Structure 1
Amino acid sequence: MNLRTVVSTLALALGLSIAPAHAERVLSVGTDATFAPFESLNNNKEVVGFDADLIKAIAQKSGLKIKIVNTPWEGLFAGLNNGERDIVIAAVTITPERKASMDFSEPYFEAKQLIIVREGSKVIKLADLKGKKVGVQNGTTGDTVSQKAFGKTSSDIRRYENIVLALTELRAGGIEAVVADNGVAKNYLANNKNHKLKTLEDASFSKEYYGIAVKKGNKALLDQINKGLAATKADGSYQKIYQQYFGN
């Protein structure tokens, strides 16, 4: 009788259970569930949305076991670097600054920034907001774009924990505009038509690409994610998920 058999027999006698030695580790996936339609919480407090469905499909294709954990945006990347999270998928734009501290999958979504203003606003482009209060979600590319336009230390840039808070302040008249990703901006307006807001495009806004992040140097996991992502595109799974949330 080997040692494991002895331990298992003893554990059984004591009413304990031991996980199999080959049990596959469940990977922790961090996301900020305040960014519909990419990620939000349903009535059962479960994370749902485009990113949630996509990472589940990728995990299935690549043989990964995952658990999606709602995590405040401010803690997402720190959690990835300290090992609390294995993967981050949260409409994260791939930028040179972020690539210096984490590794990204192949791009899975093309996006760009939009300006959201109240109906009747005379603002037509980003430059028109100089000297006015502009809301952004802290640490997002909307924040970065605004800093480039108005200065990193500008007191006119108002930062919020999430975009919904910024849009609420916009409706209340506390700020003149919000700069945010097109997907979340259009989704909010489509579901809140009575809020009397509109979106504006600016020619200075360049295309952005979202990626799935892993800890710097974790090539093995990144390869599995890229393999799963490619498989979802190859068999049409990606397209079905995309159409569910964004149409054709």
Structure 2
Amino acid sequence: MKIGKKWLSSLALIVGAGLLVSACGSGGQQPAAGGSGAGASDKVYVVGTDAAYPPFEMLEADKISGHDVDVLNAIAEAGGFKVEWKNTGWDPLFDGLDKGTVDIGISTITITDKRKQKYDFSEPYFEANQLILVAEDSPVQKLADLKGKKIGVQAATTGEEVVKKAFGDTYEGLKGYDDMPSSVDDFFNGRVDAVVGDNGVLQYYVKKIENKKFKLIKDDSFEKEYYGIMVKKGNTDMMNKINDGLKKIKENGKLQEIYNKYFGNK
């Protein structure tokens, strides 16, 4: 998931196409959040994210908001630590963890064995799967049916990985985008035949689209994915705080409450 100046133009096109996405701009921070009770540290931990993936991370009036933001703020409050948000973008988020300019990463980051070699992950906070966006009259019923067609994905995401796994790393029909709105925009403008992306994001767009003919397909061959909160490998103290707070909001119902806010009741 990446962000840049293209987000503004992409958003304008999407609104014109009927996708009333409530995210715009680039950059921005929001004040620290977290508990101030007994045991709370004065240290403020920098949280990096890519605020171009509504409804998980987005910018509203220059403030970073969304599902993941609410989740980590609730974790920080329950875990007794303070955080400050930074809209790093996708690749700089990982670089920031490597260099120590970012303490925590949350941005719909799928827990994978490859990433676990370099970073430590919290317990999962969201279960996800890939969906396929195609025209309403498309005969496509599964990913394999897209062979030979142009497929849009957000670069460096699991959506890109599943397409490469199915059709090869050099598949000519694969088109990667800096952000998901750009791929969806190109789909509705006929530049790609389908889009493969996370269920939460595509389902969010479905609610915002009017007067467009499309359908979402779930391929049972897609493996379930789990989003986790990431820290630099070996940062055990920070990870313990995150997992402690996450456990508390799972048990008290706060995590489910946040899910319902953005996606409705399960």
AA in 1 matched with 2:249: T
1:102 aligns with 2:104: no
Shift of 1:23: 7.6
Structure 2 CA distance for aligned equivalents of residues 45 and 146 of structure 1: 34
**1:34 alignment partner, SS class:** coil
Alpha-carbon RMSD = 1.4
Structure 2 CA distance for aligned equivalents of residues 143 and 238 of structure 1: 28
- Runs of 4+ in structure 1 deviating by more than 6 angstroms, as ranges, are none
Structure 1 CA distance for aligned equivalents of residues 41 and 55 of structure 2: 34
> Contact (CA 8 Å) 2:149, 2:193: kept in 1 or not?
yes
**2:249 alignment partner, SS class:** helix
AA in 1 matched with 2:181: V
Q: Percent identity?
A: 49
Shift of 1:64: 1.3
Shift of 1:121: 1.7
CA distances 1:24-73 after superposition (whole Å, capped 9, x unpaired): 2211111111111111111x211111100010010111111111111222
1:144 aligns with 2:156: no
TM-score, normalised on structure 1?
0.88
> Contact (CA 8 Å) 2:41, 2:81: kept in 1 or not?
no
1:129 aligns with 2:146: yes
Shift of 1:119: 2.0
Counterpart of 2:214? 197
Counterpart of 1:246? 263
Q: Map 1:168-247 onto structure 2 (within 5 A).
A: 168-247=185-264
**2:211 alignment partner, SS class:** helix
- Residue from 16, 35, 45 that aligns with 1:27: 45
- Residue from 55, 62, 78 that aligns with 1:45: 62
Shift of 1:122: 1.9
> Contact (CA 8 Å) 2:124, 2:227: kept in 1 or not?
yes
Structure 1 CA distance for aligned equivalents of residues 87 and 211 of structure 2: 29
Structure 2 CA distance for aligned equivalents of residues 172 and 32 of structure 1: 25
Q: Map 1:64-83 onto structure 2 (within 5 A).
A: 64-83=81-100
List runs of 5+ in structure 1 lacking aligned partners.
Answer: 1-21
**1:75 alignment partner, SS class:** helix
Shift of 1:234: 1.5
Structure 2 CA distance for aligned equivalents of residues 190 and 222 of structure 1: 35
> Contact (CA 8 Å) 2:41, 2:80: kept in 1 or not?
no
Q: Map 1:104-119 onto structure 2 (within 5 A).
A: 104-119=121-136
Shift of 1:238: 1.2
Counterpart of 1:161? 178
**2:231 alignment partner, SS class:** strand
Structure 1 CA distance for aligned equivalents of residues 214 and 86 of structure 2: 32
Change (3 A) 1:84 1:194: farther
List runs of 5+ in structure 2 lacking aligned partners.
Answer: 1-39
CA distances 1:159-218 after superposition (whole Å, capped 9, x unpaired): 001110000011111111111000000001111133332210111101111100001110
TM-score, normalised on structure 2?
0.82
Q: Which moved more, 1:69-78 or 1:54-63?
A: 69-78
- When the two structures are aligned, how many residues end up with a matched partner? 226
AA in 1 matched with 2:87: N
